[in-house]
Amino acid sequence: MLTLLLLLVAVQATAQRRLELWNKNQLNVGLSSRLTLKVSEKIHYIPENGKLEVLFGEVFINDRPLEWMEYGVGFRVTKLQPITDTWTTENRLMLFADFSKTIEAFKLTFGNRFEYRNFSDLPDHFRYKQTFTFQFPALTKWGMRFYVSEESFMRLDTGNMHLARFFGGLHLYKREHFQLSLYYALQKAKLRNDWYSSDIAGLNLQLAI
């Protein structure tokens, strides 16, 4: 896989490693048997310097015409300060399509997302995100299960991958109306022609009504 090869090259580059804490809270509202409204907010916090680096809110409309297919459109507003202490605003329009396959109790999902990123003081661009997620069989009746995931981002104006993450996580509790997950992720981000590494510890909370 091209993504994996690029990551192996990136690992050899000089990298600055740091810890990030992520938290995402999401509310899913069923509109019909197929349509779901998803509203969420997320923060990225850097304990080393006590800095809140990313804060965003987003909304998605999802349609699931088939059990193995889901697609939709979303919009996100982000405040971020990745390099300096100056906040930048990003407005992002997103289109996605996810495809899944369940074999016995294992589930594989392939996700695709196209984004248009509009910044207040940075160049606008289109980007493509791909995701592979593999969920293991549930360990308990309340849905505790391990999962691993990979995601990579490619800027379409340059044709270069600039961001990739590998996740290992645990759904502590997963039922129809509530899900709580913990995860660790290794992130590789390309800034100014250099690759930087981050260790991410995250918590996701999801409610459905």
Three-state DSSP class for residue 7: helix
Q: Is the residue at 67 inside a domain?
A: no
When divided into structural domains, the chain yields a total of 1
Beta bridge partners of 8: none
Confidence class for position 7, pLDDT limits 50, 70, 90: very low
Confidence class for position 159, pLDDT limits 50, 70, 90: confident
Q: Is the residue at 72 inside a domain?
A: no
Domain range holding 134? Answer: 2-54+90-208
Q: Is the residue at 81 inside a domain?
A: no
12 vs 125, residue with greater confidence: 125
The model's pLDDT over 47-97, given as tens digits with 9 standing for 90+, comes to 988 889 999 999 999 999 999 999 999 999 999 986 667 889 999 999 999
Alpha-carbon distance of 87 to 103, in angstroms, equals 45
Q: Is the residue at 59 inside a domain?
A: no
Q: Is the residue at 177 inside a domain?
A: yes
- The CATH number covering residue 139 comes to 2.40.160
**pTM, whole model, 2 decimals?**
0.88
At residue 16, the pLDDT reads: 54
Q: Is the residue at 34 inside a domain?
A: yes
Q: Is the residue at 71 inside a domain?
A: no
For residue 110, how far is the Cα from the chain centroid?
Answer: 13
